[in-house]
Structure 1
Amino acid sequence: MIIVLKNDQATAAIEELKQHFGSQQEIFVHNNRVAIQNADPSDLTPAEQAAAQEIITDVPAAVQASRLFHPEDTIIKTPHSTIGGKNFTLMAGPCSVESAEHILKMAQVVKNAGATVLRGGAFKPRTSPYSFQGLGKEGLIALRNAADRLELDVVTEVMDVEQVPLVEAYTDIFQIGARNMQNFSLLKAVGKTRKPVMLKRGMSATVADVLNATEYIAAGGNHQIMIVERGIRTFDNKYTRNTFDVGVIPVLQKLTHYPVIADPSHAAGHTEFVTPLALAGVAAGANGLIVEIHDDPAHAFSDGAQALKPNEFNEMVVKTNAVRQALQSIE
């Protein structure tokens, strides 16, 4: 249950509730709200009931992710970005870090377009074990140097628990890929850090699945979480790589306080569809976009088919800004 305490009694009531339940059940506190696992109103003392303004018994499993527990938007601040709430954050870069020279060139494109976060994979989970797997630490160094030179933040994928300390030293935001969304050991590991975490929805994950995955991160004490909709696997992937679930963006924003980011590149799988899906994500209210770009997609080390060329990326940014302005004009 979640207990919404009367403001003038909150401090004393929180201490009493911690003493009452803390040794037996998980208890979470956010401002004047206290969530207690496996408890119901009959377990409260008369004094605790008197201090309650409201008692919510229909509580989701992912209680820390829920707006019932945390009504206001989570705002994540990195050195160069403010993510969540009314802010819109643009993230872009190549799928893979291919060389120091290339990532710096792409970082300049990102910067010129007004984006504040540089993406790039140093470790790449590929469908085939014979495909390019990333440059590893060399890629992380190149990514960090390019971002620092142009005053950008870094988001890059961490694939397993052992990589967490290494990636943490170079990134501003951990990315948990779709294939690892339910790698609970990895979620626990990044939950123990204090770096923001970008969690991508799994290819077949329900809304409840992704919210429960965020709870593994939050349970470790890290509440700087953002959720990415990157398309899900459905019965038809002949024309697009995945099915972009645009409807899940407002659904997640209703259910959770975490920022929701749209990834039109992995949803589309083909360059010609990336911009339309980006516009759909923005129109649906996404808090930002993460987009793949490349100056020579035909020779990209990975996912070239879905990468926008610099001029195409710039055109996408112009169109997404126009959609955002139109939405702001009617608010």
Structure 2
Amino acid sequence: MILYILKDKSDFSTLKEKLNQNSASYKVLSLYGKNLVLAWPDQNVKSISDDSIEIKVEVKKPYILASNDWKKQPTIVNVKDVEIGGNKVVIAAGPCAVESEEQVLTTAKAVKRAGASLLRGGAYKPRTSPYSFQGLGDEGVKILRRVGDEVGLPIVTEIMDTRDSPIFKQYVDMIQIGARNAQNFSLLKEVGQLGKPVLLKRGMGNTVEEWLQAAEYILLEGNGNVVLCERGIRTFERSTRFTLDIGGMVAAKLMTHLPICADPSHPAGRRELVHSLALAAVAAGADMLLIEVHPTPEKALSDAEQQLTLESFEVLVNRIRDLTRALGRDV
């Protein structure tokens, strides 16, 4: 693949004409304030030159736009003035599932007081069993919006279906793609077109490269505001719910310019493991954490075993704060 970074306000009609003459496929897009032309196959376009081109980059990786071959500076994703990818470790916290406005409001006030910068919660729940609690749907999104506005926290929640795009566009600050939809390419394209910040979870059976290629679908729609979230992969190990792939997370951080998030709750499966996994992820360089918190976890309608109490979350944030100081970072 050849990536052409064009000069500002240049006319690249001649370049497109040359690409057509060479029977090359190409995509024109704007990303990170740059006008780009992505062209393939390589053998047809390597020798093309044009006055509109500022830089020509040959990228041999299958995740061209997500790679740091062309974008050397780390990307900072801004979610309503919360910057992800800088010196600060951003924490998004809240219940696994939105159950009621009172539950979300109680949690939101507590996590903000403790140091969280975003409010997370599931309105549409992708459950293994069709008989498990499936979430409140649209009403759950609206509850998150009302509570987020009241306490002053941006909200992040998961989309499961392209048909729900209108409500996400209207109400949600950061759209999460869950592990089960990590390679739902129609949904990835749709979310890319919405233009909102995206939290892209790694599929439970995906390699790091497949995870980055999933991000590529979003970037190819002109949306560069993507945060990659490691949430544990499925292995033979059964002492934890999933295996938090710290090595894969570090590898991804070296392969891309995109910020990296870690979700310690899902791979832990048990709340007594969440603190250690969260601290390990921060020590390994995570830019963001996604943590499940509930006022009364034992009564939660989903994932009761892995959600922290409000008190335990506050203790964890204080431990993270101590660790980030030692690393020269902040919370």
2:318 aligned residue: 318
State the number of aligned residues: 324
SS of the residue 1:69 aligns to: coil
Letter in 2 for 1:281: A
Letter in 1 for 2:61: P
Output one character per residue of 1:196-254: Cα deviation in whole Å (capped at 9) or x when no partner. 111100001001111111111112221111110000000112x1100010112221111
1:328 aligned residue: 328
RMSD: 2.5
Deviation at 1:20, TM superposition (A): 2.2
1:257 aligned residue: 257
Distance 1:196 1:202, change over 3 A: same
Matching of residues 117-196 of structure 1 within 5 Å: 117-196=118-197
With normalisation by structure 2, the TM-score equals 0.90
2:289 aligned residue: 289
With normalisation by structure 1, the TM-score equals 0.90
Distance 1:60 1:13, change over 3 A: farther
Distance 1:181 1:217, change over 3 A: same
SS of the residue 1:247 aligns to: helix
2:274 aligned residue: 274
SS of the residue 1:165 aligns to: helix
How far apart, CA to CA, are the structure 2 residues paired with 1:315 and 1:14? Answer: 56
Q: Percent identity?
A: 43
How far apart, CA to CA, are the structure 2 residues paired with 1:43 and 1:145? Answer: 53
Distance 1:15 1:252, change over 3 A: farther
Unpaired segments of 5 or more residues in structure 1? none
How far apart, CA to CA, are the structure 2 residues paired with 1:290 and 1:276? Answer: 14
Asked whether 1:199 is paired with 2:208, we answer no
Kept in 2: contact 1:147–1:154 (CA 8 A): yes
SS of the residue 2:65 aligns to: helix
How far apart, CA to CA, are the structure 1 residues paired with 2:191 and 2:35? Answer: 27
Letter in 1 for 2:64: V
* Higher RCO (C-alpha under 8 Å, 6+ residues apart): 2
Letter in 1 for 2:42: A
1:299 aligned residue: 299
Letter in 2 for 1:125: P
SS of the residue 1:302 aligns to: coil
Asked whether 1:44 is paired with 2:18, we answer no
Deviation at 1:37, TM superposition (A): 2.3
How far apart, CA to CA, are the structure 2 residues paired with 1:195 and 1:4? Answer: 25
Kept in 2: contact 1:80–1:153 (CA 8 A): no
How far apart, CA to CA, are the structure 1 residues paired with 2:166 and 2:36? Answer: 34
How far apart, CA to CA, are the structure 2 residues paired with 1:125 and 1:280? Answer: 27
Kept in 1: contact 2:122–2:157 (CA 8 A): yes
How far apart, CA to CA, are the structure 1 residues paired with 2:75 and 2:26? Answer: 22
Asked whether 1:20 is paired with 2:37, we answer no
Distance 1:68 1:28, change over 3 A: farther
Kept in 2: contact 1:14–1:34 (CA 8 A): no
SS of the residue 1:63 aligns to: coil
SS of the residue 1:147 aligns to: helix
How far apart, CA to CA, are the structure 2 residues paired with 1:12 and 1:154? Answer: 38
Unpaired segments of 5 or more residues in structure 2? none
Worse-matched range after superposition: 300-309 or 244-253:
244-253
Distance 1:280 1:26, change over 3 A: same
Asked whether 1:103 is paired with 2:104, we answer yes
Kept in 2: contact 1:262–1:288 (CA 8 A): yes
Distance 1:138 1:213, change over 3 A: same
1:210 aligned residue: 211
Distance 1:52 1:152, change over 3 A: closer
